[in-house]
């Protein structure tokens, strides 16, 4: 398409001008490449704007609301205040030291962009900047992907990689306009770091290694996923050492990147001294020391020139080094200086770990193991181009291809463990698939070209063409046609990919999840804006120091949109506090009242989908509240809420279930409501049953507000009784 | 038009000033207008001594029959009365818009009440008492009988006029002057709801008393016996509304002049109508030591001062309240600081303490609940933040060797590089 556009442009120029503009092949190629890249850049940005067109320019989902709130604070109060911000509106009464418990990269980036635009006299609101940050960085990622592809294969592969990643659904899912989350910039930073590091390894240049360290610093400032980098790089170095690919280039690249990256990473308050104290970062340090030993041994070998002596020296040195290393690690771990691996890290290595030990991680839908269908959904044809790309990589093994293979394989494993890590795998999959696509198409076109040119130019084939022709010296029958067919097939597949990606983006990944939409009976779009309705109600109608209790999912939104204090929010740093809320929700009303009094709760907010059929409501999340509550307070027992291991809300539900606070708050007065024609009143459209307790009386709470579609229900906690 | 509006504004402002000045000059905690509901207007004369003592203390009584059809406690959303005296034990229902709920709402809105029942107590009266945590004997014929501690003037008879001297030990409720003569009581007994912590027995029966129908033979053991029977009880609600419930209307009458009745009812009515034992806390202030402005947030390990003024209503004016057990809590889910405040005997309580080394949203809490006094519960939310980045020490003395080490390494490396690169 780009080529056609370019040639059309050339044709339309007047003849003399055309002659003076006559480009050499190299220049033509450059022009084509640049214009293709520019189009990909625009495409990557534009395809992410579906959400703005469908809904409005708004922040999506849960975490982005926190990021937005902090960015707003940053632009209003400046960096020093942001750094020292103690937020008394969340985690009441514990508070949260926001400045020290977040990755500031995203907020600083958005604030800088905002300031830049302001400096250019473009009066944009910070919200617009936040909404468009992720698409902007996704577009930048395509450039990095191009450079990376060129580094590991050739510029053709780079272009294909850029095109693939521009629309890859696995990446789009986290970078549509409005998805103002760390991942939006972090994937750019991740790929950039990898590219710069590979470049440093390929060139052995200190400057590129320094650039990689800065890329790493940006990644550390932006996302906790930097742990992937700090573990993948040493693993890569280790593999190169084992395969005998050790070189001075590697030594320079790794040492410089590691040392400077570590020092820079420590500047991020949330990360602090983890680089030297946490078990997750120890691999990088171990490999760093190992490289020094390797270098030293190399030098000794060069100096000694005696194989026998060197062997005994090697034995002694290795024994010493290994025992010293083990001892240091053992002492560090035993004395508590080196913290053990965190639960999140364990749950990555062992997919069943979270389920057994940390319900709060297992309860998040994006932490679930990935289903096959979502691989297909997010990668489409890349899924089978990926192995093909691996084949090409192994066929032309180099330091760079080893890196991309390792990145691809490890990230694919992590993508299988957790749904949301598909995001990390997406760039690797795109790059490797791009190698497959590019190499295949190149081979096919070479076939076609040589065949068609062969009658005229058999005699004067030179240089590289001869090498390419070497394999096809004896043309197979129908080779030309087969090549054309295959090329058409590849074209068809790629166009299917483009169609699939666009469809997925527009249908699945552009929903803000704060505004819900459904298809009405006549096919029209029905919008449920209940969340914002409820949050604005809170903002307008409750005292400014009111404390709202809800399940932690809604904490960020309540503080950002409702501007009220919450007990727990999506920053799940204090499991006990969350468990307390879970316990309150799963207790009887009088027990819950005591808990709520101790936390000074004024309002309780629940999300209920029984009227609209909105399935991710609190009743469906309720078992997790029970599990998390029961994990800390053993009085809450999961079997009490189940009947024969079955979770139900109808007449057959367990008595505890029918009378716990969450059930009462969700279904209060629901028994009077007819939700569907032909069904009895109190028919829950999510669970598809008639509820079991229609006569709910509230003693300690009273209904304060219910949104128009009953999705959000707010209750006021009554003060203690006056006369008893 | 504008001038008129300005005038109106001025008038409103001056009214406000007058109102606030009136408040400061020492008006009592409660208004002085009482509604007295009676079954029979004869009560007005038979209990004239009690009413007289109320009027003598400046209370404005309005007598109405309990079934007066024009009866109403409020008009246009405003309560017409500040207190209620229910001397209508047998009335089955009130007139006008008043019913059980109206009376309870009246109390919940912060008003006081004296309720006297009798052996003829109606379900309405019993219902109100139950809602205030008091259960009258369910047998409608039952009275409190005591064959040992009865009134000596009535040796003969059924010993239902009993002499009670088991009074609550509280100067705030009963006045500082000891009630010497026993209190004579003829009426029904009640039990206090054990789950209700707000109810107190003021006058209990003696251990030899029991509650039964005096006219019939005792067939089964009486449900209420001994000192478990309360004759007169009080309830102070959470909003400091005070309620006195007596099982006898006769207790307040002129008949028992020689007994301790008059002193008892006068003193308890003073308590009920907030002429005694009412505390108010004003001028809560807190600031860092050495400063005067109240900050919106403290830092961990700040030294702060907290002060509050507590006054007691003496019946005529606000007097400084003097006690040594007023405590301040610095509270976040549990008290991190719990300290007695010192007083200057002029009403000012103050203390200073160090903010704990924990950040979070704290509260200054004063929870002062003492027998007979209105509860003082103050809570003020204040966040405590950690140190800012520039509030730590810039250079730590013990780290000087490390500074020296790093700078000397840097210098040595520079010299080494220079020497290595340029040395031939």
- Coil, strand or helix: which one is A220? helix
B361·A80 Cβ contact <8 A: no
Task: Kindly determine whether residue B235 and residue A723, on different chains, have CB atoms separated by under 8 Å.
Answer: yes
Contacts of A491 (CB under 8 A, 6+ apart): none
pTM over 0.90: no
Give the tokens for residue A333. 């771990």
8 Å CB contact of A95 and B361? yes
Contacts 24+ apart (CB under 8 A), B265-270: B265/B50, B265/B53, B266/B50, B266/B53, B267/B173, B267/B174, B267/B175, B267/B177, B267/B179, B268/B173, B268/B174, B268/B202, B268/B232, B268/B234, B268/B244, B269/B50, B269/B53, B269/B54, B269/B114, B269/B244, B270/B57, B270/B175, B270/B315
Taking an 8 Å cut-off on Cβ atoms, the answer to whether B360 and A545 are in contact is no
Contacts A543 to B, Cβ<8 Å: none
Q: Which of A93, A545, A722 sits opposite B333 (nearest CB)?
A: A93
What confidence score (pLDDT) does residue B305 get? 94
Residue A343 CB contacts under 8 Å (≥ 6 apart), including other chains: A353, A354, A357, A358, A361
Task: Give the pLDDT score at B179.
Answer: 86
How much of chain A exceeds pLDDT 90, in percent? Answer: 66
Closest chain A residue to the Cα of B379, Cα to Cα: A600
Kindly tell me if the per-residue pLDDT of A456 is higher than 80: no
pLDDT tens per residue, range B384-400: 999 998 898 888 899 99
Q: What is the pLDDT of residue A464?
A: 45
pLDDT given for residue B155 in this prediction: 63
* Predicted confidence (pLDDT) at residue A720 exceeds the cutoff of 80: yes
**More confident call, B234 vs A351:** B234
**For position A457, what pLDDT does the model report?**
43
Task: Using CB atoms, pick whichever of B132, B196, B360 lies closest to residue A95.
Answer: B360
Test B238 with A88 for CB contact under 8 angstroms.
no
Cβ contacts of B193 on chain A, cutoff 8 Å: 724
**CA–CA dist A554, A686 (Å, integer):** 20
Q: Return d(Cα A589, Cα A665) in angstroms, integer.
A: 10
Task: Choose, out of B299, B361, B392, the residue to mutate when testing the contact with A (most A CBs < 10 Å).
Answer: B361
Mean pLDDT by groups of 10 residues along chain B of 424 residues: 51 45 57 90 90 91 90 90 92 89 92 91 92 89 86 74 87 87 89 91 91 84 87 93 92 83 91 92 93 92 94 90 93 93 92 94 93 91 92 90 96 95 84
- Contacts of residue A18, defined as CB under 8 A and 6 or more positions apart, other chains included, come to A10
Residues of chain B in contact with residue A83, where contact means CB-CB under 8 angstroms, are 389
Question: Is it the case that residue A284 has pLDDT exceeding 60?
Answer: yes
Distance from CA of B125 to the nearest CA of A (A): 16
Binned at pLDDT 50, 70 and 90, residue A388 comes out as very high
How many Cα neighbours within 13 Å face the side chain of A136? 14
Q: Distance from A93 to chain B by nearest Cα, in Å?
A: 5
Q: What is the DSSP pairing of strand B60-65 with strand B33-38?
A: parallel
Model confidence over A509-531: pLDDT tens digits?
888 888 888 887 787 888 899 99
| Pairing status of strand B166-167 against strand B199-204 | antiparallel
Q: Which residue of A has its CA nearest to B380?
A: A545
What is the model's pLDDT at position B164? 84
Query: Which of B131, B381, B384 is nearest residue A545 as measured by Cβ atoms?
Result: B381
User: pLDDT tens digits for A39-81?
Assistant: 999 999 999 999 999 888 999 989 999 999 999 999 999 999 9
The model's pLDDT over A414-429, given as tens digits with 9 standing for 90+, comes to 999 888 899 999 999 9
Instruction: Mention every residue, 6+ apart, whose C-beta is less than 8 A from residue A313.
Output: A300, A304
Of the pLDDT bands very low, low, confident and very high (cuts 50, 70, 90), residue A342 is confident
Query: For residues B270 and B315, is the Cβ–Cβ distance under 8 A?
Result: yes
CA B72 to chain centre: 26
Among A93, A565, A721, beta carbon nearest to B360:
A93
Chain B contacts to A (CB-CB under 8 A) = 104, 107-108, 131-133, 193, 195-196, 198, 235, 237-239, 241, 297, 332-333, 359-363, 381, 383-386, 388-389
Mean pLDDT, residues A185-206: 95
Residue A336 falls in which region: left (phi positive, over 0), alpha (psi -120 to 50) or beta: left
Chain A: residue whose CA lies nearest to B132 = A723
Instruction: Look at A88 and B297 and tell me if their CB atoms are within 8 Å.
Output: yes
> Whole-angstrom Cα distance, residue A105 to residue A494?
35
**Strands (DSSP E) found in A546-602:** 547-549, 565-566
Check residues A305 and A688 and name the one with the higher pLDDT: A688
DSSP secondary structure letter of residue A272: T
Q: How far apart are CA A199 and CA B164, in angstroms?
A: 100
> Please, which residues 431-450 of chain A have a Cβ atom closer than 8 Å to chain B?
none
State the smallest CA–CA distance between residue B306 and chain A in angstroms. Answer: 21
pLDDT band at A585; cut points 50, 70, 90 = very high
Q: If we measure between CA atoms, which residue out of B39, B43, B52, B37 comes closest to residue B265?
A: B52
pLDDT score, position A398: 93
Contact yes or no for B237 and A88 at CB 8 A: no
Minimum-distance CB partner of B389 among A84, A88, A599: A84
pLDDT in tens, A241-272: 999 999 999 999 999 999 999 999 999 999 98
Give the mutation candidate from A77, A80, A88, A718 for the B interface (greatest B CB count, under 10 A).
A88
Contacts with A682 (C-beta within 8 Å, 6 or more apart), sequence order: A667, A670, A671, A672, A673, A690, A691, A694
Residues in contact with A355: Cβ distance below 8 Å, sequence separation at least 6, in sequence order: A362
Do the Cβ atoms of A92 and B386 come within 8 Å?
no
Q: What is the distance between the alpha carbons of residues B134 and B145, in angstroms, rounded to a whole number?
A: 19
Partner B contacted by A259 (CB < 8 A) = no
Distance (Å) from the C-alpha of residue B105 to the closest C-alpha of chain A?
10
Q: What is the pLDDT of residue A661?
A: 94
Check if A88 contacts B (Cβ < 8 Å).
yes
3-state secondary structure (DSSP) of residue B137: coil
* Whole-number pLDDT of residue A458: 42
Both tokens of A432, joined, read: 């490797």
- pLDDT surpasses 60 at A461: no
| Cβ-nearest to A92 among B361, B385, B386 | B361
ipTM confidence: 0.84
Question: How far, in Å, are A467, B105, B134, B202, B242 from residue A723 at the CA level?
Answer: 98, 11, 11, 18, 10
- The 3-class secondary structure across A466-529, one letter per residue, is HHHHHCCCCCCCCHHHHHHHHHHHHHHHHHHHHHHHHHHHHHCCCCCCCCEEEECCCCCEEEEC
Distance CA A285, CA A262 (A): 10
- Angle between the B123-131 and B100-108 helix axes, to the nearest 10 degrees? 30
The residue whose two tokens read 């940050």 is: A133
The confidence band for A367, taking pLDDT boundaries of 50, 70 and 90, is confident
Helical (H) or strand (E) element with A329 = helix A307-334
- Which of the residue ranges A362-366, A448-452, A540-544 has the most confident prediction, judged by mean pLDDT? A540-544
Phi, psi torsion values for A189, nearest 5 degrees = -65, -40
Three-state SS at B231? strand
A-chain CB neighbours of B133 within 8 Å are 723-724
Provide the pairing of β-strand B298-299 with B376-385.
Answer: parallel
What is the percent of chain A with per-residue pLDDT over 70, rounded to a whole number?
93
Q: Tokens for A193?
A: 């770091």
Is the distance from CB of B304 to CB of B286 less than 8 angstroms?
Answer: yes
pLDDT-based confidence at A12, cuts 50/70/90?
low
Residue of chain A minimizing CA distance to B108 = A722
- The Cα–Cα gap between A628 and A360 comes to 6
Using the beta-carbon criterion (under 8 Å), do A723 and B108 form an inter-chain contact? yes
For residues B273 and B243, what is the distance between their CA atoms, to the nearest angstrom? 9
Nearest CB among B131, B239, B361 relative to A93 is that of B361
Tally: H helices and E strands in chain A: 33, 11
Q: Which of B235, B362, B386 is nearest residue A97 as measured by Cβ atoms?
A: B386
pLDDT at B3: 52
- Mean pLDDT, range A652-678, rounded to an integer: 91
Expressed in angstroms, the distance from the first to the final Cα of chain A is 80
Distance from the A96 Cα atom to the nearest Cα atom in chain B, whole angstroms? 8
Burial A699-724 (b: 16+ CB within 10 A, else e): ebbeebbbbebbbbbbbbbeeeebbb
Please compute the mean of the pLDDT values over residues A637-644 and round it to a whole number. 91
> Nearest 5°: phi and psi at A404?
-70, -35
How sure is the predictor about A582, in pLDDT bands with cuts at 50, 70 and 90?
very high
**End-to-end CA, chain B:** 100
Q: What is the DSSP letter of A562?
A: I
Asked if the peptide bond before residue A644 counts as cis, ω within 30 degrees of 0, the response is no
């Amino acid at each position: 398409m780009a080529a056609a556009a370019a040639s059309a442009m050339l044709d339309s120029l007047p003849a003399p001008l055309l002659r003076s503009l006559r480009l050499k092949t190299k220049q033509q190629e450059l022009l084509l490449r640049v214009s293709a890249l520019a189009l990909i850049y625009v495409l990557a940005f534009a395809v992410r704007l579906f959400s703005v067109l469908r809904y409005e320019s708004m922040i999506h989902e849960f975490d982005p609301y926190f990021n937005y709130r902090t960015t707003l604070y940053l632009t209003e109060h400046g960096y020093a205040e942001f750094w020292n911000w103690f937020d008394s509106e969340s985690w009441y009464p514990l508070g949260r030291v926001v400045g020290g418990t977040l990755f500031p990269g995203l907020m600083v980036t958005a604030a800088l962009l905002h300031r830049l635009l302001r400096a250019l006299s473009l009066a944009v609101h910070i919200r617009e900047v936040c909404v468009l940050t992720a698409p902007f960085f996704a577009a930048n990622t395509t450039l990095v992907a191009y450079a990376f592809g060129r580094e590991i294969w050739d510029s053709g592969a780079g272009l294909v990689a850029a095109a693939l990643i521009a629309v890859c659904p696995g990446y789009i899912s986290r970078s549509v306009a409005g998805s103002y989350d760390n991942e939006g910039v972090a994937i750019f930073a991740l790929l950039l770091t990898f590219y710069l590091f590979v470049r440093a390894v390929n060139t052995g240049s200190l400057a590129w290694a320094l650039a990689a360290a800065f890329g790493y610093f940006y990644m550390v400032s932006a996302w906790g996923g930097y742990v992937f980098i700090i573990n993948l790089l040493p693993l890569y170095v280790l593999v190169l050492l084992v395969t005998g690919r050790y070189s001075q280039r590697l030594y320079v690249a790794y040492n410089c990147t590691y040392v400077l990256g570590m020092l820079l990473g420590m500047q991020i308050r949330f990360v602090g001294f983890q680089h030297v104290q946490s078990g997750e970062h120890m691999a990088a340090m171990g490999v760093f020391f190992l490289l020094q030993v390797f270098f030293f041994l190399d030098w000794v070998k060069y100096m000694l020139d005696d194989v026998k002596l060197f062997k005994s020296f090697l034995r002694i040195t290795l024994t010493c080094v290994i025992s010293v290393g083990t001892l240091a690690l053992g002492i560090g771990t035993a004395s508590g200086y080196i913290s053990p691996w965190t639960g999140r890290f364990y749950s990555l290595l062992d997919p069943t770990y979270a389920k057994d030990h940390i319900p709060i991680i297992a309860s998040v839908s994006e932490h679930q193991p990935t289903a096959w269908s979502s691989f297909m959904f997010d990668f489409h044809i890349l899924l089978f181009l990926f192995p093909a790309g691996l084949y090409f990589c192994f066929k032309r093994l180099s330091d760079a291809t080893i890196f991309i293979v390792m990145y691809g394989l490890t990230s694919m494993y992590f993508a299988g463990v957790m749904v949301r890590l598909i995001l990390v795998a997406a760039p690797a999959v795109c790059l490797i698939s791009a190698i497959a696509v590019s190499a295949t198409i190149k081979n096919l076109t070479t076939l076609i070209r040589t065949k068609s040119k062969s009658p005229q130019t058999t005699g004067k084939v030179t240089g590289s063409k001869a090498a390419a022709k070497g394999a096809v010296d004896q043309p197979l029958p129908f080779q030309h046609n087969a090549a054309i067919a295959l090329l058409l097939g590849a074209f068809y597949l790629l166009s299917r990919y483009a169609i699939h990606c666009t469809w997925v983006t527009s249908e699945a990944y552009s929903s803000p999840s704060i505004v819900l939409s459904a298809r009405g009976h006549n096919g029209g779009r029905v919008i449920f804006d209940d969340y914002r309705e409820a949050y604005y109600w809170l903002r307008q109608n409750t005292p400014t120091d009111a404390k709202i209790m809800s399940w932690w999912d809604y904490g960020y939104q309540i503080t950002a949109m409702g501007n009220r204090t919450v007990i727990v929010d999506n920053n799940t740093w204090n499991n006990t506090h969350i468990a307390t809320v879970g316990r309150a929700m799963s207790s009887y009303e009088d027990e819950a009242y005591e808990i709520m009094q101790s936390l000074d709760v004024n309002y309780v907010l629940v999300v209920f989908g029984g009227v609209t059929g909105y399935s991710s409501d609190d009743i469906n999340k309720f078992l997790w509240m029970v599990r998390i509550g029961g994990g800390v307070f053993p009085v809450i027992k999961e079997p009490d809420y189940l009947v024969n291991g079955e979770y139900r809300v109808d007449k057959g539900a367990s008595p505890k279930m029918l009378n716990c606070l969450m059930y009462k708050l969700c279904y209060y007065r629901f028994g009077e409501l007819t939700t569907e024609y032909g069904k009895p009143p109190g028919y829950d459209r999510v669970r598809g049953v008639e509820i079991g307790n229609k006569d709910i009386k509230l003693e300690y709470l009273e209904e304060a507000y219910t949104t128009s579609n009953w999705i959000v229900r707010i209750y006021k906690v009554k003060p203690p009784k006056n006369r008893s | 038009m504008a001038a008129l509006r300005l005038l109106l504004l001025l008038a409103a402002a001056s009214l406000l000033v007058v109102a606030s000045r009136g408040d400061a000059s020492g008006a009592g905690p409660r208004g002085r207008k009482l509604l007295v509901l009676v079954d029979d207007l004869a009560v007005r004369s038979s209990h004239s001594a009690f009413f007289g003592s109320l009027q003598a203390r400046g209370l404005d009584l309005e007598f109405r029959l309990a079934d007066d059809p024009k009866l109403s406690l409020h008009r246009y959303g405003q309560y017409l009365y500040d207190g209620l005296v229910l001397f209508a034990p047998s009335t089955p229902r009130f007139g006008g818009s008043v019913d059980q709920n109206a009376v309870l709402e009246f109390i919940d809105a912060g008003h006081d009440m004296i309720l006297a029942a009798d052996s003829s107590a109606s379900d309405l009266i019993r219902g109100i008492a139950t809602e205030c945590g008091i259960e009258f004997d369910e047998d409608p014929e039952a009275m409190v009988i005591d064959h040992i501690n009865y009134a000596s003037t009535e040796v003969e008879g059924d010993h239902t006029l009993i002499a009670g001297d088991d009074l609550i030990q509280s100067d705030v409720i009963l006045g500082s002057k000891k009630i010497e003569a026993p209190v004579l009581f003829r009426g029904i007994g009640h039990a206090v709801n054990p789950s209700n912590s707000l109810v107190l027995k003021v006058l209990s029966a003696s251990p030899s008393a029991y509650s039964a129908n005096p006219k019939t033979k005792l067939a089964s053991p009486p449900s209420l016996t001994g000192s478990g029977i309360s004759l007169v009880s009080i309830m102070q609600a959470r909003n400091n509304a005070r309620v006195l419930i007596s099982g006898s209307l006769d207790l307040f009458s002129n008949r028992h002049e020689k007994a301790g009745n008059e002193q008892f009812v006068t003193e308890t009515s003073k308590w009920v109508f907030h002429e005694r034992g009412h505390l108010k806390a004003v001028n809560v202030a807190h600031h860092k030591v050495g400063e005067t402005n109240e900050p919106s947030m403290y830092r961990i390990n700040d030294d702060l001062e907290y002060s509050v003024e507590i006054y007691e209503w003496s019946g005529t004016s606000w007097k400084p309240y003097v006690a040594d057990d007023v405590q301040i809590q610095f509270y976040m889910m549990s008290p991190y600081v719990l300290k007695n405040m010192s007083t200057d005997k002029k009403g000012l309580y103050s203390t200073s303490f160090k903010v704990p080394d924990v950040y979070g949203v704290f509260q200054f809490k004063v929870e002062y609940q003492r027998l007979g006094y209105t509860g003082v519960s103050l809570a003020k939310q204040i966040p405590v933040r950690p140190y800012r980045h520039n509030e730590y020490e810039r250079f730590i003395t013990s780290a000087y060797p490390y500074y020296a080490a790093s700078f000397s390494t840097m210098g040595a490396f520079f010299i080494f590089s220079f020497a290595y690169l340029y040395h031939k």
